[in-house]
Amino acid sequence: MAARSLPRAPCDDPSVEPRFGLERRDFFKIVAGLTAAMGLPKSAQATVANAMQTAKRPSVIWLQFQECTGCTESLLRAEHPTLEKLILELISLDYHETLMAAAGHQAEDARKAAMAANKGKYILVVEGAIPTKENGIYCKIGGRTAIDLVKEAAADAAAVIAIGSCSSWGGMPSTTPNPTGATALHEILGKAVLTIPGCPPNPYNFLSTVVHFLTFGKLPDLDAKGRPKFAYGRLIHENCERRAHFDAGRFANQFGDDGHRQGWCLYKLGCKGPETYANCPQILFGDAGTGTWPVGTGHPCIGCTEKGIGFEKPIHALAELLTVTPPTQFARPAESQGKGATAASAAAVAAVAGVAIGIGAKVAQNLGARDAAEEAAEKKSAAAKPE
């Protein structure tokens, strides 16, 4: 009897190699990495692989406002998958001012056409803060303000993603004195959006978010600030390769000293890892090998994923220790500066001390009286005994 042929599993599709230009083993390494990055169990890899191969590519409208294009530049350097594979095989990037060939009216016509053809289905990605002062005149594209453009594009989007710290919470453009009134995307739209902060953000946090959308038809779970929990659920400090030195009380005190050269903790140099949520230590940057993130190269984390820390808190100011302090047998990372006693506090201490002295004298007096009485009783008892 001839053996019955089993249907081919979706993840065994032979089109992997010609479509992605990757060997099957490399493709599934990418699938495994993205699955792990999203915090999904290993059993979900087949589902993710199937979605990457068969799901319809979502239309993506990518707008850029007050930014340095660093978010796009970081995406250009992604290797798993590379940008062209992302654009040509996973998504349909229908508008992106930096990457598209069209310009001027042709570019704007492409944006409008993509929005109309994919109404209610496209993903809107916004890079850069949005100026609001003087009715938003500090950023215009095609004669229209960033405020008008982003509100129009967000109205019919299936999902809205703020990529980079500028779009997520205002970033560097919003720092004091903020002359243009640079504002975060969610404040302009008046509703929560998915945020992927960082300056620049890690491209794999964006790629994993896109793959999650492809796989499940929805965005991943978010924290209170709209960030994907799989990427921003833990403090940098918790997974830092220098964490053991922190726990042991070993700190670099200045750049280039012995501790700094030996890879000791950078807390005293202003590292914001103890108060910054991100996955930088786990997935690194640039696919360039180990240690390829700020702390790994010897520079303190500046807290770029956190509003009120990145670009606002001085780089070398000490971080707030949110969850962890060194063991008590070691010196604290930074001793608080003592202050001299004021006249009032000195008087209060003196008064308390005086009371204590008085009480001590009375106790001593009572003890002395008791000792004398006991001694007299012992002599009387000894005298009463017969010879």
Which CATH superfamily includes the segment(s) 55-231? NADH:ubiquinone oxidoreductase-like, 20kDa subunit (3.40.50.700)
- Per-residue pLDDT of 95-132, as tens digits, reads 999 999 888 999 999 999 999 999 999 999 999 999 99
3-state class (DSSP) for residue 93: strand
Q: Provide CB contacts within 8 A for 386, sequence distance 6+.
A: none
Find tokens 């140099």 and name the residue: 269
Intervals of CATH 3.40.50.700 along the chain: 55-231
Q: Which residues fall within 8 angstroms of residue 372, CB to CB, at 6 or more apart?
A: none
Band of the pLDDT at 329, cuts 50, 70, 90?
Answer: low
Predicted TM-score of the model (pTM): 0.76
- CATH assignment of 234-327? 4.10.480.10
Every domain of the chain with CATH number 4.10.480.10 lies at 234-327
For residue 6, the model assigns a pLDDT of 35
175-to-140, 169, 181, 310 alpha-carbon distances in Å: 21, 11, 9, 10
Residue 355: pLDDT over 90: no
Cα separation, 40 vs 38, in Å, equals 5
How do residues 142-181 score in pLDDT, each as one tens digit? 899 999 999 999 999 999 999 999 999 999 999 999 999 9
